[in-house]
Structure 1
Amino acid sequence: MRKFGLIGKKLGHSFSKKYFTQKFEREGIQEAQYELYELPEAQALKSLLQHETELVGLNVTVPYKQDVIPLLDELDEVAAKIGAVNTISISEGKTKGFNTDYIGFKSTLEEFYPQAERKQALVLGTGGAAKAVWAALDALQIPYRSVSRNPDPAKQELGYDELTPALLQSYNLIINTTPLGMHPYTDTMPELPYEALTEQHYLYDLVYNPEQTLFLKKGAIAGAQTCNGLDMLYRQADAAWAIWNE
């Protein structure tokens, strides 16, 4: 039996087990199992690997995408550059970290955000998921500013109180990388002057449960184009599966 799974702190929101279990059934993949592993801290990965000796692949979700890095034997070049890991391969007792969030986000953004419309982006949040988004924006040559509850002036980050209606007119792509709006806290959303959004704005939310967050609902009411993280989830999962089967 080959085992795969997801590690994180709270996994009640996750679609990963359902996605991979259905994939195994649909494609007739035998002797494969996908489980959810809630860990109280990233360090618990070591004991998990000791006890679950059949594990050959793991996905990593919040808040451990950066915390797992020192625990791994090796890092893929892209993951090292990004500074965050969401996929781990396990072979002969050795672990290697990858970042397939980058692959999933970049490909979906290219389809959602037309070349002719591209201006500047605001990235809400500065955690592990944001790091993959920054790398993709750099690769697509889309200028951006990050927004944080505790902005770092040295990194030219913005605070939410700086997001004025006038400023939003200069940034027509807004990407939410925070967990705000994620199940079960569906009544939360990033603090934005939503009334300043227009039909020229593009809102991308990495959250996929629920499929329509308050962030996206308010954008849609203003006429903005919206995209959730579901396609990104599928594509990063498929990229992880390819890595585990190399």
Structure 2
Amino acid sequence: MLKLGLIGKGISRSQSARLHVLLGRMCGMDVSYDYLDSDQIEDFDLIKQLTTCSEKGYAGVNVTHPYKTSARKLITPRKRLPAALGAVNTVVFREDGWRGDNTDFVGFMRGYKKQFGDAKPGTVLQLGAGGVGLASAFGLRGLGADKILVHDKDITRGEELVATLTAADAQAEFVSAENLSDAVRSADGLINCTPVGMNQYPGCPFDVDLLGGQKWAFDAVYTPVETAFLRTATKSGIEVMTGFELFFFQGIEAFEVFSGAEIDADAARQDYFNAYPEALTG
């Protein structure tokens, strides 16, 4: 039995369990995947919870909001984790210590390449500088983006992400609200890393009148998969990548880290949609 779990706050709607169990089945492994919701655990403490998981035989756990940054401080990073990326979403328990990784940024890169091939990102405007924004921004860095423009309503958070990217030798710039329209028009790619577009936060995070002329767009939201932003982008002739791609590829990357298996992503995609056809629409 490969024992896995997810640590986070308010995670009851996560789809991670069904993905990891399915991937295990593909590999002939029995997999259990527990939701360790801090809202449901009395006197929750991250170090205590990780220690408990290690002692109870978990191979590893995923970590999500709001504990990714704290988890990064408690682990030894795997070699591929950029030093400046101060968050982890995957912790593996080894006899010689806890190893951490961030499969979100790798998953973003895999999703981008699957959707857009070898096309370079160019100049990209990203809305949102939170956890998923950190991962996608480092994914853009890994893909060789010419410039990463960041806007966040929390100016301090946005400027901190820009400073982190700059320290990692990426070309990055914070965009103020006053300059946002010009940035949208001039961008090759547009990314939404805000909650706008989720079922509980409907709407489009970009001014729809400014869409058209950009080359590609990505929405980190995947409930629903087809967001108002991506529908409008498609109608405007922009190629799109859905948030499902990030969820799917980061999950495969995490499972490979946990299990040591190598997953056929195309076969896994087919199996997942056969088992959960609603994932196509969210």
Q: TM-score, normalised by structure 2?
A: 0.75
More helix by share: 2
Aligned equivalent of 2:269: none
- Per the alignment, residue 191 of structure 2 pairs with 175
Contact 2:190 2:214 in 1 (8 A): no
Distance (whole Å) between structure 2 residues aligned to residue 197 and residue 182 of structure 1 = 20
Structure 1: which 5+ residue stretches go unaligned? none
Distance change in 2, residues 1:226/1:244 (3 Å)? same
Distance in 1, matches of 2:117 and 2:109, equals 13
Q: Which residue of 1 aligns with 2:263?
A: none
Aligned mates of 1:198, 1:219 — CA distance in 2: 7
Deviations 1:143-178 (A, max 9, x none): 1111111224684412345321x4322102011222
8 Å CA contact 1:123, 1:174 repeated in 2: yes
CA contact (8 A) 1:79 1:98 kept: no
1:94 equivalenced with 2:94 (yes/no):
no
CA distance in 1 between partners of 2:119 and 2:58 (Å): 45
Give the structure 2 partner of residue 150 of structure 1: 154
Q: Distance in 1 between matches of 2:119 and 2:51?
A: 51
Query: Structure 2 regions of 5+ residues with no counterpart?
Result: 163-172, 261-282
Tell me which moved more, 8-17 or 21-30: 21-30
Structure-2 separation of matches of 1:90 and 1:68: 13
1:81 and 2:84 correspond: yes
Deviation of 1:231 (Å): 2.2
Amino acid at match of 1:150: D
Quick one: structure 1 residues 202 and 89, their matched pair in 2 at CA, closer, same or farther if it must change by over 3 Å?
A: same
CA separation of 1:141 and 1:243: change in aligned 2, threshold 3 A: same
Distance across 2 between alignment mates of 1:129 and 1:215: 17
Q: Could you list the per-position Cα deviations for residues 78-135 of structure 1 after superposition, in whole angstroms to 9, with x for gaps in the alignment? A: 1533111111101238322101112111122134346557431011111222222222
**Structure 1 position 188, deviation (Å):** 4.2
- SS state of the match for residue 230, structure 2? helix
Q: Residues 245 and 140 (structure 1 numbering): CA distance in 2 closer, same or farther, change over 3 Å? A: same
Aligned partners of 1:102 and 1:132 also within 8 Å: yes
User: What pairs up with 1:189-200 in 2 under 5 angstroms?
Assistant: 189-190=204-205, 192-198=206-212, 200=214
**Counterpart amino acid of 1:134?**
A
Distance, in Å, in 2 between the alignment partners of 1:39 and 1:188 is 30
Q: Is the 8 A contact 1:79 1:97 kept in 2?
A: no
Q: Which segment drifts farther, 72-81 or 118-127? A: 72-81
Pick which of 73-82 and 126-135 moved more: 73-82
Q: Is the 8 A contact 2:197 2:227 kept in 1?
A: yes
SS at match of 1:55: coil
Amino acid at match of 1:169: R
| Residue 67 (structure 1) aligned to one of 48, 65, 70 | 70
TM-score, length of structure 1 as denominator length: 0.85
Instruction: Give 3-state SS (helix, strand or coil) of 1:81's partner.
Output: coil
Letter in 2 for 1:36: Y
**Alpha-carbon contact 2:120-2:144 (below 8 Å) kept:** no
2:115 counterpart residue number = 112
